[in-house]
């Protein structure tokens, strides 16, 4: 019987932050990522509803993510 090990939360966090930081859509200083037991919580501010959706999609794209709570706020100023 093969057992899957839980992904390392710190590695997963780094991967998601890295992905968001390398996209020209996001300012990495305005988005916070926290992870616990495969649940990703995104908080902070983005400039548009599209950016909010794209950030969640970027989080979902990583292996080991079982839930994404998108608490990002659109700051359209």
42-48: average pLDDT: 93
CATH number at residue 70: 3.30.1340.30
More confidently predicted of 6 and 56: 56
CA angle 25/29/35 to nearest 5° reads 95
Q: Is residue 3 part of a domain?
A: no
| Listed residue (74, 64, 75) closest to 4, CA to CA | 64
Q: In total, how many domains does the chain have?
A: 1
Range of the domain at 63: 9-74
DSSP H or E stretch at residue 18: helix 9-21
pLDDT tier at 3 (50, 70, 90 boundaries)? very low
pLDDT confidence of residue 77: 65
**Residue 4: inside a domain, yes or no?**
no
Confidence band for 4, pLDDT divided at 50, 70 and 90 = very low
pLDDT in tens, 49-71: 999 999 999 999 988 899 999 99
Cα angle: 18, vertex 42, 56; to 5 degrees? 75
* Pairwise CA distance, residues 76 & 45, whole Å: 9
Cα 37 to its chain centre, rounded Å, is 14
The answer to whether residue 70 sits within a structural domain is: yes
Between 42 and 36, whose confidence is greater? Answer: 42
């Amino acid at each position: 019987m093969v057992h899957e090990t839980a992904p390392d939360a710190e590695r997963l966090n780094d991967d998601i932050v890295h992905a968001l930081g390398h996209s020209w859509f996001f300012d990495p200083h305005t988005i916070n990522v926290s992870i616990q037991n495969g649940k990703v919580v995104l908080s902070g501010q983005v400039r548009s509803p599209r950016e909010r959706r794209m950030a969640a999609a970027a989080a979902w794209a990583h292996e080991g993510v079982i839930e994404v709570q998108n608490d990002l706020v659109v700051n359209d100023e």
